Amino acid sequence: MQIPFLNRLQSLSGATINKVVPAGNGAEHQEAAQVLQQVLEGLPELVAAAVVQIDSGQAVATYTTSRDFNPAKIAGFNAALVRGQYNVLAALQPDADEQLEEIVITLPTQLHLLRILTNKQQFLYVAVESRDTNLGIAREVMRTCE
């Protein structure tokens, strides 16, 4: 049951957990929420995920399993990382066929993946525990969810 007051109260206590949350009501937000739902089906042990606008760094939709891990708060930093990598590639001037597809960040216990979506305006961010998911599976799930 959707009760606006209770939804607002929950949002004051931090990130909504274990639920895909679109940042708005438009078609773009609903499409992003569908992408996250597909990722969640492929990676049920997911820690956090978001669809983020590259230019603005704003999360279009988010998912997290922990109130301490809010993907909307780090979306801007990840967007800056993607924009920075675009600048690096522009300086390298690779072949026209070479385009940024993904960025992988490995930590001792987590994998963080950023995959550019086909519209080239957004990226999909996923964080998983490395003991629960291997890199190949995470990459394949992200690739097939576009």
- 25-75 pLDDT tens trace: 999 999 999 999 999 999 999 999 999 999 999 999 999 999 889 999 999
Mean pLDDT, range 116-126, rounded to an integer: 97
Confidence of residue 93 (pLDDT cuts 50, 70, 90): confident
User: Is residue 6 pLDDT above 60, yes or no?
Assistant: no
DSSP 8-state code for residue 94: -
Do the beta carbons of residue 32 and residue 135 sit within 8 Å? no
- Distance between CA atoms of residues 138 and 146, nearest Å: 13
What domains, with CATH codes, occur in the chain? 15-144 (3.30.450.30)
Confidence of residue 110 (pLDDT cuts 50, 70, 90): very high
User: Is residue 108 pLDDT above 80, yes or no?
Assistant: yes
Burial of 61 (0-12, 13-18, 19+ CB in 10 A): buried
Record the pTM.
Answer: 0.87
User: Is residue 133 pLDDT above 80, yes or no?
Assistant: yes
The total number of residues shown for the chain amounts to: 146
- Distance between CA atoms of residues 61 and 52, nearest Å: 7
For residue 134, CA distances in Å to 21, 41, 115 come to 26, 16, 16
